Amino acid sequence: MIRKRFLWIELFLFVFAAAVIGRLFYWQVIKYESFVVAAKSQTEDTVFISAERGKILSSDGSILVSNQKAYLLYAVIPEFKKLKKDNQTYEDLSKENAQKIAAILLEEKLVGVQGEDLEKINRDTLRESLKETIIFQLKQPNLVWVPLAKKVSEETKQKIEGLKIKGIGFQDDTKRFYPEGGIGANLFGFVAKDEAGNDKGYAGLEGYYDDKLKGKSGRLIQEVDSLGRPILIGSSVGSNASNGANLLTTIDRTVQYTVERKLQEGVKRYGAKAGAIIVMDPATGGVLASSSYPTFNLLDSTSSKPETYRNLGISEVYEPGSIFKSITSSVGLDSKAIDTRTACPCTGPLNIAGYEVQTSNNKYYPNSTIAEILQHSDNIGAAFVAQRVGINKFLKYVQDFGFGEITGVDLQGEEAGIIKERKNWGEIDLATAAFGQGLSVTALQMVSALSSIANDGALMKPYVVKKIESQSKTINISPTKVRQVIQPPTAEVVKQLLLGAVENGEAKRIIPHGYRVAGKTGTAQVPIAGHYSTKTTASFVGFGPVESPRFAMIVVLFEPSASIWASETSEPLFFEITKELYPYWGIPVHQ
């Protein structure tokens, strides 16, 4: 009997031991991975280290674009619902609080908007729109957490916190900071969210250098105690964040500020639809300033119209008109098709392939030299020069000056312009191209080509960033010579011809004297549906002082209404800016 009992006890102990071993096997072997994960989740903490976006600096190292703290405003719906009073619907609760928050967000939206732009804004409409967005988010079905507003400032955060609304919170974020306000919007571009919700640069420098500017965020996995504090002797693995590179640009902030202000005034004064100005150092190709108007609000880019994001100086292609005669004269002289004494018959309109080519004022100047052709901005004279050169050579020079292909400037959104293929060129195309019609260019291509004349015939690649400084390395970007387009002696002659075109040209009575600027006006009719309209693009491109060019600049006004002529709009605007730049650079004015 006792033996039997012992046997039962042994059996029980065996089964018990087997059960324990089996359970241990289940925990230690079968469920090993899930327990490791569970243990790690309790003892390890993953910290994401965000990378700071790089700064954009002017040529003197001043900050043009930096970063500042911002917040994502969100709502936790279950918490927010607790605010509902007994006699109140959720819709009323949402409306009441959305109204309060929208009023504060509106104030932030209006920061940086000044003058007429501020007057144009309908505050009630904007407030309603903000309110509707918040209500829409608060009504999202099946969501616990909803974002209400992105990138709100510290000041706005404090004001909203002052409302003491339960369920409303803030999450840390950063946004771009612009010490100069809205200056240089189309040059810098902007930062917004991509499809994955990450910051991404769009347009201008932000778009072109996004990979360099954004840096690389890091991650640190460390052992923590029960209160989430790191254990110093515990294990820690991960990668450090690498901040984005800083861009040192060729932009002169004083020139940029001056140009920006003057362009805005000029567009309004001359009733133009839009305008663009680019200032360049002809010796290096470094862009000193670039402005485009209308522009967008850098402080709130998402509320601006998408068409205002374009930098018209690099992305708007247009027929250049008579400013192209500076190129035609260079081609004629460099190819030896003409010299400075060659006389154009220029007795009247030209008939080419059934088309009649006239001058803009229907006046004709027989026996004109190239100097007189430029001074009178004579279409017949320009066509005469091009005909002497011939299509093949003319086209080759035009391409060598950089037309028909992008310059490769380090800005996002550059267009190449339109130069027809050789097979599509006829005699009439050659004649019209000579005075800048029938082909399309960008303002940057035009100022770059004229810079090559100022630079003894050497075409330089335009660029904006001269140094990229990251934590690990510094990249210096040197000026790049693209090619020698015309010979230095030709360039010297063309400089003097263009100086004469300014000092003895159509606007000689209204422009200030002594600035020794070489340049050319251009009033080009705008082609609409295959025909030229009465609307014009008025531009002036020039450089100065002619003896030792410090800058080259192009001023383009699209469809000015005060006067269609460049000599009465863009040329005076060019000289207004020049008058401010000469004392700034210490360039003497010859009395």
Partner 1 sequence: MIPAQGCKQKKKSSFFKAIAGFLIISIIGISITRLVLSNILATSGQFLAAANQKIEILKEENQNLENELSRSESLANVENYAKKAQLIKTINVEILTLSKPIASR
Residues 136-159 as b or e (16 or more Cβ within 10 Å = b): ebbeeeeeeebebbbbbbeebbeb
The alpha-helical segments, DSSP class H, found in 74-122 are: 77-81, 90-109, 115-120
Residue 393 burial by Cβ neighbours in a 10 Å radius (0-12, 13-18, 19+): middle
CB of 292 to partner 1, least distance (A): 19
The answer to whether the beta carbons of residues 518 and 495 sit under 8 Å apart is: yes
DSSP 469: E
Piece of the chain touching partner 1 by CB under 8 A; list 116-124, 221-229, 439-447, 536-544: 221-229
Stretch that binds partner 1, among 18-26, 250-258, 451-459, 549-557 (CB under 8 A): 250-258
Asked if omega into 545 is within 30° of 0 (cis), the reply is: yes
CB of 248 to partner 1, least distance (A): 15
The stretch among 24-32, 135-143, 199-207, 224-232 that binds partner 1 (CB under 8 A) is: 224-232
Question: CA neighbours within 13 Å on the CB side: how many for 442?
Answer: 26
Q: How far apart are CA 411 and CA 56, in angstroms?
A: 13
How many residues line the site for partner 1 (CB under 8 A)?
A: 29
Minimum Å gap between C-beta 254 and partner 1 is 7
CB 187 within 8 A of CB 290: yes
Binding partner 1 (rule: CB under 8 A), the pick from 167, 181, 500, 527 is 181
How far apart are alpha carbons 490 and 324 in whole angstroms? 17
Regarding 236 and contact with partner 1 (CB under 8 A), the answer is: no
Is 66 a residue that touches partner 1 (CB under 8 A)? yes
Nearer to partner 1, 63 or 406 (CB): 63
Contact 456, 488 (CB under 8 A): yes
The nearest distance, CB 143 to partner 1, in angstroms, is: 30
State the minimum distance, in angstroms, from the CB of residue 176 to partner 1. 11
How far is residue 272's CA from residue 557's CA, in Å, rounded to a whole number?
6
Which lies closer to partner 1 via its Cβ, residue 181 or residue 413? 181
Phi-psi domain of 267 (left: phi exceeds 0; alpha: psi -120 through 50; beta: other): alpha
Interface with partner 1 in residues 354-413 (CB under 8 A): none
The least CB distance from residue 236 to partner 1, in Å, is 11
Does position 118 interact with partner 1 (CB under 8 A)? The reply is no
**Residue (196 or 227) nearer to partner 1, CB:** 227
Judged by beta carbon, residue 151 or residue 253, the one nearer partner 1 is 253
Residue from 50, 133, 242, 254 that binds partner 1 (CB under 8 A)? 254
Helices (H), ranges, 455-569: 488-503
DSSP letter at 229 equals P
Q: Which stretch binds partner 1 (CB under 8 A): 100-108, 120-128, 227-235, 527-535?
A: 227-235
Burial 497-524 (b: 16+ CB within 10 A, else e): bbbbbbbebbbeeebeeebbbbbbbbbb
Q: Which of residues 260-299 bind partner 1 (CB under 8 A)?
A: none
Task: Give the H/E segment covering residue 36.
Answer: helix 32-43
Map residues 299-318 to x or -, x wherever contact with partner 1 holds by CB under 8 A.
--------------------
Q: Quote the least distance from Cβ 249 to partner 1, whole Å.
A: 15
586 binds partner 1 (CB under 8 A): yes
**From the list 173, 180, 300, 427, which residue makes contact with partner 1 (rule: CB under 8 A)?**
180
Pick 154 or 194: Cβ nearer partner 1: 154
Give the nearest distance from C-beta 585 to partner 1 in angstroms.
Answer: 9
Residues that bind partner 1 (CB under 8 A): 62-63, 66-69, 177, 179-181, 183, 224-225, 227, 229-234, 253-254, 257, 582-583, 586-589
